[in-house]
Amino acid sequence: MRIALFGGTRGVGRQVLVQALEKDWGIKLLARHPDAVPPAPGLEVVGGDALDPGKVILTITGCDAVVSCLGPTKGSAPDVCSRWTDIILPAMQKFSLSRLVVISALGVGDSAGQIPLWMQPFFKTILKRSMQDKDRQEQLIRASGTDWTIIRPGGLTDRQTNGTAVVGTDVKQKAGMVGRAAVASLVINELETGRYRGRTAYIT
């Protein structure tokens, strides 16, 4: 398998990159700072911005699936997720590429109630714009003709969490902390099995 990876230089995306390469998959990674990405067998790095349509097309060319772990970072557009989605969907259609796996977040859309009460003011203030951006992204993806899966993780950590991560599709499970490596493992498994095709799954 060869995947086009966006947002793969940090966080969950970095874990997806590592785990995919461990499986000997091919990766085309779009990175704003390609020199900062260590070379690895099977990895092709495309230098550029995720909101540059030409670079997006270059990244997905020759790939079997698209994975996005994009999110707002210092220096990025606050609505990077939805703007990227506006670019990627017609590009995928043009090149007959259908498989799309996107990392969103618990708290978006109908999962707002899964956020513990003590955390909700934080989501309604500091994270409000980011949640709105991801909500629009999800709406665009669901309305598209792609073979999509949306994954909503809880609070992300690099530490090992207690117990096994919980994965599901209902909206009753409350959000908790989850390791970035566990979220990446779910992405890899979804690309292999398609268990949550056309659905939004949480992991926490």
- Taking the alpha carbons at both ends of the chain, their separation in whole angstroms is 27
- Structure token digits, residue 119: 């955390």
Domain boundaries, the chain: 2-203
pLDDT at 21: 98
Q: What is the dihedral of CA 126, 130, 131, 134, to 10 degrees?
A: -170
**What letter represents residue 200's amino acid?**
T
pLDDT at 128: 80
pLDDT at 120: 73
Contact 59, 6 (CB under 8 A): yes
pLDDT at 122: 66
pLDDT at 114: 84
pLDDT at 75: 66
**What letter represents residue 66's amino acid?**
V
Read off the pTM.
0.94
Contact 153, 111 (CB under 8 A): no
pLDDT at 47: 98
The rounded distance, in Å, linking the Cα atoms of 35 and 29 is 12
Count Cβ neighbours within 10 Å for each residue of 22-53 and write b for 16 or more, e otherwise: eeebbbbbbbeeeeebeeeeebebbebebbee
Mean pLDDT split into 10-residue runs, the chain, 204 residues:
97 97 98 94 97 98 98 81 98 97 94 79 73 95 97 90 85 91 97 98 96
pLDDT at 129: 86
pLDDT at 2: 98
Domain 2-203, what fold?
A: Rossmann fold (3.40.50)
